[in-house]
Structure 1
């Protein structure tokens, strides 16, 4: 609208190319995945009842970029808040470190999803910061 690019031209070109390659591959190979790209493809085909118009490849790339950017921003913000929390509250840091070390020791240094799920205090710290 103002003619001010959000990204440098090479980065925008790379991201658009990546999305366009993904769209072409999914359409050519009839790949269906339960993700946002698939929903945008459905919207373009007007398969979703809420969608009246059609989306261009450029529209889909823009939506995918916003989705990526929003996820990146919220994750980095959460990590900043948790880092601050741990720096200010030694007791929380010590308890969390003890839990992580215990799980790592029990897992032989190789964690799995189940090991991460077993870290109840870690979940409380992250969930508390999300509020």
Structure 2
């Protein structure tokens, strides 16, 4: 809508370029050095090395980067939502908050 009006409020291309460079440079480094991180980048590298699979599926860089970003955001949002919900519940339930504090304190003392 705003683009049609001739105004662009924020240009996301530079963010896309940084995101792409991070994912692809990590993949290139892992391909060259055979480092293992046991993460999504390792899966991308191993899939790109599979010649038969590459005949069936095209691994365009923009798709690989988009999937990596999707996994990152999905994991981040899930974690932040869970933490926010947990803290909210602790705030409205002071009895549970007290029990949790006692349990954490006890656990810390036992595991020193």
TM category, shorter: 0.7 to 0.9
Deviant stretches of 4+, over 6 Å? none
Confirm whether residue 71 of structure 1 aligns to residue 75 of structure 2.
yes
Cα drift, residue 47 of structure 1: 5.9
Alignment-derived partner of residue 10 in structure 1: 14
- From the two aligned structures, give the one with the greater helix fraction: 2
Alignment-derived partner of residue 93 in structure 1: 97
- Secondary structure (helix, strand or coil) at the match of 2:84 reads helix
Cα RMSD, aligned residues only: 2.6
Q: Which runs of 5+ in 1 are unaligned?
A: 109-131
Count of matched residue positions in the alignment of Structure 1 and Structure 2: 103
Q: Which runs of 5+ in 2 are unaligned?
A: 4-10
Cα drift, residue 8 of structure 1: 2.7
Cα drift, residue 71 of structure 1: 0.2
TM-score, scaled relative to structure 2? 0.75
Residue of 44, 47, 62 corresponding to 2:48: 44
Cα drift, residue 93 of structure 1: 0.7
Cα drift, residue 48 of structure 1: 7.9
